[in-house]
Amino acid sequence: MVSVTSDPGAVEGQAHSGPPPVVPEFVIVPRWGFIWSAFVLIAVVVVVAVNSLWPLMFLHVTFGAGWTIVDLFLGFALGPILGRLSIPARVEFTARFMPKMVVLMPGLVAGTLAAGWQLSTHLGTNMTGAAGHGWVVASMIVVGIMSIIALGLLEPANITVLIEMKKPRPNPAVIERLMKRFMYTAGILGVMQVATLVIMTRLGSL
């Protein structure tokens, strides 16, 4: 456990008194994360090679649902709650929550996209002239924008917060700034996931 140096002037709008918040012990990349990543890798390789409808559909829908639910929950439920927590509670939550996001999300996203493209090829919906092709292109645009936001803002913020919290004297200003970025970005992705739900249900209704 390490103490976060309390610098009230550095943390915008936060009046914190009492002992400095304590960062619980954590690892940046949990060991189960390697098992999860290996599982995703093997599952995608096997399912794409087999190229059967049900496994492709199962992988795409389950991983896609996981991705959508996490983004919606983070953006609309957890984010606003986290913003109202005290700094010690926020620090403890962050130390326990963010390592899970580091390993969970890349696997969910990579699995969803790889299985989704293969599924689209299998069904022929990514071919021009196919029914629903416009919706497939629309989904690619939405996913493309989401990927740029996630890779450009969310993932670097996630890693930086964890590395900052691993320091002997973490800087609360850095953690505060990047957690805000993380939560706002998650909110934007949550809104974009609504667009994904519209597109996917339209495709499923054809």
- 12's tokens: 């915008």
Question: Per CB under 8 A, does 51 bind other proteins?
Answer: yes
Question: Per CB under 8 A, does 5 bind other proteins?
Answer: yes
Number of other residues whose CB lies within 10 A of the CB of residue 87: 20
For other proteins, the binding residue among 19, 31, 128, 205 (CB under 8 A) is: 128
For other proteins, the binding residue among 90, 155, 183, 203 (CB under 8 A) is: 155
Q: Please give the C-alpha separations between residue 198 and each of 73, 154, 159, in angstroms, as whole numbers.
A: 17, 24, 31
Give the sign of the dihedral formed by CA 187, CA 141, CA 64, CA 101.
negative
Say which DSSP state 191 is in.
H
Question: Per CB under 8 A, does 151 bind other proteins?
Answer: yes
Nearer to other proteins, 76 or 184 (CB): 184
CA dist., res. 5 & res. 7, Å (int) = 6
- Site residues (CB under 8 A) for other proteins, limited to 52-81: none
Report how many residues bind other proteins under the rule CB under 8 A: 47
CA dist., res. 123 & res. 81, Å (int) = 42
Q: How far is the CB of 75 from other proteins (least distance, A)?
A: 19
Q: How far is the CB of 199 from other proteins (least distance, A)?
A: 14
Q: How far is the CB of 77 from other proteins (least distance, A)?
A: 26
Angle at 40 between CA 38 and CA 42, to 5 degrees: 65
CA dist., res. 11 & res. 7, Å (int) = 7
Question: Per CB under 8 A, does 169 bind other proteins?
Answer: yes
Q: Give residue 16's identity as a one-letter amino acid code.
A: H
Question: Which residues does residue 114 pair with via DSSP β-bridges, in sequence order?
Answer: none
Question: Per CB under 8 A, does 195 bind other proteins?
Answer: no
- Which residues lie below 8 Å from residue 129, measured CB to CB, with a gap of 6+? none
Stretch that binds other proteins, among 15-23, 78-86, 91-99, 116-124 (CB under 8 A): 116-124
Question: Per CB under 8 A, does 98 bind other proteins?
Answer: no
Q: Which residues bind other proteins (CB under 8 A)?
A: 5, 7, 10, 37, 41, 44-45, 48-49, 51, 106, 110, 113-114, 117-118, 121, 126-128, 137, 140-141, 144-145, 147-149, 151-153, 155-157, 159-160, 163-164, 167-174, 178
